[in-house]
Amino acid sequence: MRVTLKYFGLLAEITHCPEESLELKADVTTLLGLKSAIENRFPAFQKTVYSIALNRSLCNDEVDLKEADVIAFLPPFAGG
């Protein structure tokens, strides 16, 4: 399954790209599985606080992924 990953702020600096298209391995079916795969690929993510939005909505790690999903990795943000 192919998904689009978007990285913002410090997370884009870690990955050296703001966006990429990624073909997921067959065993990566949930957001938790993707999060684990990304943290293995970019170990600095393990030490970084971030949120994940799936198709523009914040969600929990147990959500199932689908073809063409857009997953955004978001650094902490504050309003004022």
**Contact, 37 vs 1, CB < 8 A?**
no
pTM metric for this prediction: 0.92
Is 20 inside any structural domain?
yes
Total domain count, the chain: 1
Q: What is the pLDDT of residues 5-59, one digit of tens each?
A: 999 999 999 999 999 999 999 999 999 999 999 999 999 999 999 999 999 999 9
Asked whether the predicted pLDDT for residue 71 surpasses 70, the reply is: yes
CATH of the domain at 12: 3.10.20.30
Asked whether the predicted pLDDT for residue 80 surpasses 90, the reply is: no
**Contact, 75 vs 8, CB < 8 A?**
yes
Is 33 inside any structural domain?
yes
pLDDT at 78: 73
**Contact, 72 vs 18, CB < 8 A?**
no
